[in-house]
Amino acid sequence: MKIFATSDIHGNRTIIDKIEHIASRADMIVICGDVGGKEFRRGDTLNDVSLRQKKDADHLVDRMKKLSVPFRFILGNDDWFEHDDEHHLKYTENISGHDLVPFELVPITPFNTNREANENKIRYELSKLTADRKSIIVAHAPPYRCTDTLYNGGHAGSRAARDWIIDVRPRIWLCGHIHEDHGAGLINDTLVLNCSCDHLNDELRGWIIDLDSLEYEKVIM
């Protein structure tokens, strides 16, 4: 089974168009959060932004439903809305023999966004996940010092996530969040893939992963 994983679309409809072109190469599409736009207009309330982002998500879902492959998405820290669609991965789901485990929390940022938590909270919530060495974690944030490097050279990943990965050793940790570090890494034998797009430049980015062989291919369009 092959999946195409991407993240941080931020309402960009050109990127959604490009996802449709890549869909034929995968058996499933996974979107690792931040599906709504980031635009705040003068005088906006969070409710205004939330309503626009919900429309972005509805548009994405409508477009993805027309494809010939199944898809799942989670929400990220810039998503100020909730979504009850059946394609929103809220709980562990077994798809074609593979357990997809969602995790939407991110470490505290300077920007007061949604779904932020301190490392103790992240550690606690991770401890409640039912996951093992065969699991595929669909997260928004990367683990500390693995695909989490900022433009200034700092690291913004979760230390609790890194510790949890070392302990549980899931097969794959898919994420986004840190746009500038779209890349691949390993924490022991766990494959970490940052799937974040460059939404400001209409650039779809992600990975095609063969879940049987664990071979992976970078996609940039």
Residues in the chain: 221
pLDDT at 81: 97
| Low-confidence residues of the chain: pLDDT under 70 | none
Q: Which residue has the tokens 């510790």?
A: 163
Check which CATH number belongs to the domain holding 138 and give it: 3.60.21.10
163-181 per-residue burial string, b: 16 or more CB within 10 A, e: under 16? bbbeebbbbbbbbbbbbeb
What values do phi and psi take at 87, rounded to 5?
-85, -10
Residue 96, by phi and psi: left (phi above 0), alpha (psi -120 to 50) or beta?
A: left
pLDDT at 33: 98
- How confident is the model over 172-219, as pLDDT tens digits? 999 999 999 999 999 999 999 999 999 999 999 999 999 999 999 999
pLDDT at 177: 98
Indicate the number of domains in the chain: 1
pLDDT at 123: 98
Q: DSSP letter string over 68-109?
A: SS-EEEE--TT--S----TTB--S-EEETTEEEEEE--EE--
Domain with 27, as residue range(s), is: 2-220
pLDDT at 41: 87
pLDDT at 39: 85
pLDDT at 220: 98
